[in-house]
Amino acid sequence: MMSINKGSKFRLWLRNSGLSGIALASVVLVAGLGSAQAQDAYPGKAIRLVVPYPPGGVSDNSSRAIAERLGRELNQTIIIENKAGAASTLASNLVARAPADGYTLYAAPVSVVINPTLQGKVEYDPQRDFAPISMMITSAFVLQTNKELNVNNMAELLARVRANPDKFAIGTSGMGSINHLAAEYFMKAFDLKMAVIHYKGGSPAAQDLIGGRIQMMFSATNEAMPFIQAGRTQGIAVTSAQRVSTLPELPTVDEATGTQGFDAEFWLALLAPAKTPPTVLNTLQTAMQKVGADRVLAEDLAKKGVMLKVSSPAEVQGYMDRDGKKWGQIIKELGIKE
């Protein structure tokens, strides 16, 4: 298709073409449309992926690995922007206000649907201000116990805690954190009474777990693996619907208790600002499906304790709806405030 330029050749062709004024106008219009379409081809420049955590953690590393693979599919550079703060709310606010052109994307964590309830007031609506593209990763929590508790499985653990109400303590990485909510969910689901001790991060909580100051905690898979494999803690169960490939000997909570529906996972989902054009979203969704088929990437992420999970936009919405409702209800019932 011909494109308009400022050179003399195109103007000379128009003068010598013999076309009527209407025909000439049509040529100009079509040529102009061709130029605009070429300029609007997506993606025509680097894409920014906002990650709501500092560099170096599992979420950041996983986002970088997926971004690199997605960039190869799109034949475009994806630049990571770490925007940590306010338990991901700073990043959520940033993306919600970004231009809806496909050049700002969000590696959104589960807290994107928790924080509106937990923090009381945020500057975004998780249902209104984002367009779902695909899930990125999921990561189970591992229930691990201090070795001196002398329990080897879930049945022994539940029996010990029920026989000694309020005697034991379960640690968390912070008030309102997803593993704190998982702990409250666990105690409610199985009618357990324990003290809940909050730490500033998973590492200090794990040290107190090993030292016996707390008796159990739900830890991120990558944090629990070294302790369990070294025999420093006792792994009890994982909080996902399926077993974790790097700790295959551990049952799910459902398997260990004979119940159904216990699920407490950390996840990242790829979101764009609301009103991003459907053609752009379709391009990203199609590319992510190809990323999801990369078994080398999946195996690399599994070694880090996370599962590559690519999905439809509807499944992303399902995760957001389910976890927003489930965790929001627990936060309200317990009056948890960050």
CA 256 – CA 238 distance, rounded (Å):
9
pLDDT one digit per residue (tens) for the chain, 338 residues: 334 344 444 444 445 555 554 444 444 444 444 434 434 699 999 999 999 999 999 999 999 999 999 999 999 999 999 999 999 999 999 999 999 999 999 999 999 999 999 998 899 999 999 999 999 999 999 999 999 999 999 999 999 999 999 999 999 999 999 999 999 999 999 999 999 999 999 999 999 999 999 999 999 999 999 999 999 999 999 999 999 999 999 999 999 999 999 999 999 999 999 999 999 999 999 999 999 999 999 999 999 999 999 999 999 999 999 999 999 999 999 999 87
- Map tokens 């990437």 to a residue: 297
Residue (of 82, 46, 45) closest to 63 by Cα position: 82
Could you tell me where in the chain the CATH 3.40.190.150 domains are found?
Answer: 47-139+273-334
Domain with CATH 3.40.190.10 in the chain: 146-257
Q: How far apart are CA 84 and CA 247, in angstroms?
A: 30
146-257 falls under which CATH superfamily?
Answer: Periplasmic binding protein-like II (3.40.190.10)
Give CATH for domain 47-139+273-334: 3.40.190.150
Q: State pTM to two decimals.
A: 0.87
Query: Contact at 8 Å (CB) between 280 and 42?
Result: yes
Please give the radius of gyration of the chain, using alpha carbons only, rounded to the nearest integer.
Answer: 25
Helix (H, G, I), strand (E, B) or coil at 141: strand
Which residues in 42-52 are b (16+ Cβ under 10 Å) and which e? bbeeebbbbbb
Cβ atoms within 10 Å of 224's Cβ, excluding its own: 28
